[in-house]
């Protein structure tokens, strides 16, 4: 089946693409919902979105380049979480779910043979229910191969299968600015320990951290970050929320 992949830039959406290909599907396009351009330029890349990862958004186009210049569709997030209910049963004007509907509608118009949507959801029923709702409206199948996977096992599997992603946001006890830019492989022991000791989600499903993928087996090229800086979103002694603003990057042959 031909598939469009929803990509945030993070490890989960990347790894789910790998699982789609393993299952015999073909990734033919990438789709990404991004914050307003003015927010990115003003170092306000982190949005209060319940549905989308926005940190690292300015760098996501490089993933399409690394995957052989696949068609890359973008849609600005204009809505918000109008309803925060777990279920999303009908279209609600102004809700960010409708931004996702418009994004995938554009993909469907340009690729009428697309039959599935790759999504990296693991435990967020809020996210999965909304993607499923949009897929149902468009006659698409949601492909979520990571759904309800045990997170320590999944983290180790990602590392073992060549997902080279770095932390670009931290927001949890015992995680801080010094962890930004470190790879999943470097962070695996610490994340597992924090999971076992404090109960944090090893894959960041509780919002503890977010990641950005630099390389994976699907990439024909790899991403190299040339320039980045720390942006403090909220200050706290125990769990500061800090992210990396990727200012400049390039891709190179593998």
Buried b (16+ CB within 10 A) or exposed e, 117-145: bbbbbbbbebbbbbbbbbbeeeebebbbb
pLDDT for res 240: 85
- pLDDT band at 239; cut points 50, 70, 90: confident
- The 3-state DSSP class for residue 250 equals strand
Q: What is the pLDDT of residue 44?
A: 64
- Residue 18: enclosing H or E segment and its boundaries? helix 11-22
Dump the DSSP string for 213-242: EEE-TT-SEEEEEEEEEEEEEE--SSS-EE
For residue 24, pLDDT beyond 80:
yes
DSSP, collapsed to helix, strand or coil, labels residue 249 as: strand
Helices 96-110 and 125-138 meet at what angle, rounded to 10? 40
> Quick one: what percent of the chain has pLDDT higher than 70?
97
Q: b vs e for 154-169, b when ≥16 Cβ sit within 10 Å of the residue's Cβ?
A: bbbebbeeebbbbbbb
Average pLDDT over residues 189-206: 95
Instruction: Answer yes or no: pTM beyond 0.85.
Output: yes
Q: Can you give the pLDDT at residue 43?
A: 60
Asked if residue 244 lies in contact with residue 169, where contact means CB atoms within 8 angstroms, the answer is yes
Other CB atoms within 10 A of residue 176 CB: 14
112: confidence class by pLDDT, cuts 50, 70, 90 = very high
pLDDT at 74 > cutoff 80: yes
Return mean pLDDT, the chain: 95
Alpha-carbon distances, residue 140 vs 98, 145, 189 (angstroms): 16, 16, 38
- End-to-end Cα, the chain, rounded Å: 28
**Count of C-beta atoms within a 10 Å radius of residue 184:** 20
The pLDDT score that the predictor gives to residue 40 is 56
**% the chain with pLDDT above 90:** 90
Model pLDDT, residue 215? 98
Given a contact cutoff of 8 angstroms between Cβ atoms, the answer to whether 86 and 125 are in contact is yes
Lowest-confidence region among 21-30, 40-49, 66-75, 152-161:
40-49
**Contact between residue 3 and residue 27 where contact means Cβ atoms under 8 Å apart:** yes
| Sequence-ordered alpha helix ranges (H) in 48-120 | 61-66, 96-110
* Residue 223, CB-side half-sphere exposure with 13 Å CA sphere: 30
Q: How confident is the model at residue 235 (pLDDT cuts 50, 70, 90)?
A: confident
**Each residue's pLDDT tens digit, 33-58:** 999 976 555 566 777 788 999 999 99
Structure confidence at residue 106 (pLDDT): 98
């Amino acid at each position: 089946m031909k598939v469009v992949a929803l990509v945030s830039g993070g490890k989960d959406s990347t790894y789910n693409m790998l699982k789609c290909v393993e299952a015999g599907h073909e990734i033919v396009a990438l789709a990404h919902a991004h914050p307003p351009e003015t927010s990115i330029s003003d170092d306000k890349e982190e949005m209060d979105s319940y549905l989308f990862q926005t940190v690292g958004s300015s760098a996501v186009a490089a993933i399409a380049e690394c995957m052989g210049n696949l068609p890359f569709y973008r849609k600005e997030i204009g809505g918000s979480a109008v309803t925060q209910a777990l279920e999303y049963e009908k279209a609600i004007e102004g809700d960010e779910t409708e931004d996702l509907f418009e994004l995938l509608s554009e993909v469907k118009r340009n690729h009428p043979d697309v039959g599935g949507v790759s999504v990296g959801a693991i435990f967020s029923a809020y996210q999965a229910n909304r993607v499923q709702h949009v897929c149902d409206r468009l006659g698409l199948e949601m492909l979520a191969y990571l759904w309800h996977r045990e997170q320590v096992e999944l983290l180790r599997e990602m590392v073992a299968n060549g997902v080279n992603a770095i932390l670009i946001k931290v927001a949890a006890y015992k995680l801080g600015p010094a962890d930004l830019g470190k790879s999943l492989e470097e962070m695996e022991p610490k994340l597992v320990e924090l999971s076992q000791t404090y109960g944090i989600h090893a894959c960041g499903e509780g919002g503890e951290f977010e990641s950005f993928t630099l390389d994976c087996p699907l990439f024909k090229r790899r991403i190299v970050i040339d320039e980045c800086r720390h942006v403090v979103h909220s200050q706290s002694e125990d769990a500061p929320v800090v992210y990396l603003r990727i200012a400049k990057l390039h891709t190179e042959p593998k």
